[in-house]
């Protein structure tokens, strides 16, 4: 599954180095060259993790971190702070402001990737698991097998990606625009109605997996004016 990481650094060479190593590790990378641009791109692209430099023009990494922690939608977003400032006081400040990890420059690319993987495991266990589970639903990302209540569910490739995206973020409301970006890819022109069509197909397949031919309770909920969310069935 594609894990999206935003990298923000005003040094072009450093930005290229970070991008290269993250892409080699099979992560999707989006980039920003200053703090304000980083905030805009985080809001637009909803990355799974942020790597941000301390010293940047327009807005420092510390201020970006403080802003992200003040917003409900990004309060839990994993953040790694990069800095040439290696003093203990600076490290403590970065962590106190809300960074989850702090890496001093220069650093080993191998160490960075290890820190990224460790933080993702802690923050988003589902992103590193081969099998995603929610309620009575299981999705084996290795075999691409989907089961509900022990019954096999047959779905297409796009519905599989859509399901994984929802299962990686249980309970979270995702707009049609966000789903288009996460499932179809940023910059690909697809009408928002396409999301509705694929959600309908996925919902029908999942709901048809009830015991003895019965219709199973709905797990994919439509949120009026907002989008879709994977939630447990409402009790009647």
CATH assignment of the domain containing 153: 1.10.10.10
Annotate 174-186 with DSSP letters as a single string: B-HHHHIIIII-T
In this structure, the answer to whether residues 207 and 221 fall within a common structural domain is yes
In this structure, the answer to whether residues 185 and 104 fall within a common structural domain is no
Range of the domain at 33: 4-127
| Residue 139, strand partner residues | 132, 146
Residue 193, burial from CB neighbour count under 10 angstroms (0-12, 13-18, 19+)? exposed
DSSP-based three-state secondary structure for 25: coil
In this structure, the answer to whether residues 149 and 211 fall within a common structural domain is yes
pLDDT in tens, 24-48: 888 899 999 999 999 999 998 889 9
In this structure, the answer to whether residues 24 and 104 fall within a common structural domain is yes
CATH assignment of the domain containing 32: 3.40.50.2300
pLDDT in tens, 107-158: 888 888 888 988 887 776 665 557 888 889 999 877 889 999 889 999 999 9
In this structure, the answer to whether residues 65 and 121 fall within a common structural domain is yes
In this structure, the answer to whether residues 54 and 75 fall within a common structural domain is yes
Residue 39 belongs to some domain of the structure: yes
């Amino acid at each position: 599954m594609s894990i999206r990481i935003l990298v923000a650094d005003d040094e072009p060479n450093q930005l290229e180095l970070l991008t290269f190593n993250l892409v080699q590790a099979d992560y999707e990378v989006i980039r920003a060259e200053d703090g304000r641009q980083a905030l805009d791109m985080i809001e637009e692209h909803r990355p799974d993790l942020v790597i941000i430099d301390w010293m940047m023009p327009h807005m420092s990494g510390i201020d970006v971190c403080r802003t992200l922690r003040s917003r409900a939608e990004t309060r839990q977003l994993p953040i790694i702070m990069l800095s040439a400032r290696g003093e203990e006081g600076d490290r403590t400040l970065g962590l106190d402001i809300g960074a989850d990890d702090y890496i001093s420059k220069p650093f080993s690319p191998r160490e960075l990737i290890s820190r990224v993987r460790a933080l993702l495991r802690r923050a988003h266990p589902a992103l590193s698991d081969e099998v995603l589970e929610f309620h009575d639903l299981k999705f084996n990302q290795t075999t691409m097998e989907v089961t509900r209540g022990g019954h096999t569910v047959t779905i297409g490739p796009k519905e599989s990606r859509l399901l994984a995206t929802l299962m990686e973020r249980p309970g979270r409301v995702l707009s049609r625009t966000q789903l288009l970006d996460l499932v179809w890819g940023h910059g690909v022109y697809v009408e928002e109605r396409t999301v509705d069509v694929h959600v309908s197909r996925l919902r029908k397949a999942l709901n048809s997996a009830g015991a003895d031919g019965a219709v199973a309770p709905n797990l994919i909920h439509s949120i009026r004016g907002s989008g879709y969310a994977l939630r447990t069935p409402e009790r009647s």
